[in-house]
Amino acid sequence: MATDPLFGIHPDALQFQRQRMEMLAANIANADTPGYKARDLDFGKLLAAAQQQPAGNSVTQPGHLALDNDSLKAATVWRVPTQPAADGNTVDAQVEQSQFAQSALQYQANLSFIDGRLRSLMTAITGQ
């Protein structure tokens, strides 16, 4: 599905949001781990890294993002703590939960776009 132009950027956006939610979930799970540093994915940095990739990468079209490990490492940012903890942990559970909810909403929106596209294709195929 990721190589099909019928779905546009939505499969890549789903993959990005999934990986971001995994990272945010890891932050929430380690909220009480001493010394744990909260991380997040920055879409702007991912886009910049994808634009700097040499020609001949594994994307099917020039506008697509290649979500490989190098791009994800370049897009990973450390969360700046609003309140420093004595144990060195930078996770703020409320911030992480809010970011996770926002990412889940964006994930659901991308699924809705794909679902709408599939429904319109089914309508075109069946004529109903």
pLDDT in tens, 85-127: 889 999 999 999 999 999 999 999 999 999 999 999 899 999 8
The pLDDT value given to residue 69: 66
Kindly state the average pLDDT of the residues 8-22: 89
* Among 115, 117, 105, residue whose Cα is nearest residue 17: 105
| Span 16-43, pLDDT tens digits | 999 999 999 999 999 999 999 999 998 8
Question: Domain range for residue 29?
Answer: 5-126
| Span 64-75, pLDDT tens digits | 445 566 677 778
pLDDT of 2 higher than 60 = no
Question: What is the b/e burial string over 5-38, where b = at least 16 CB atoms within 10 angstroms of the residue's CB?
Answer: eebeebbbbbebbebbbebbeebeebeeeeebeb
Assessment of whether the complete model's pTM goes beyond 0.85: no
Number of structural domains (the chain) is 1
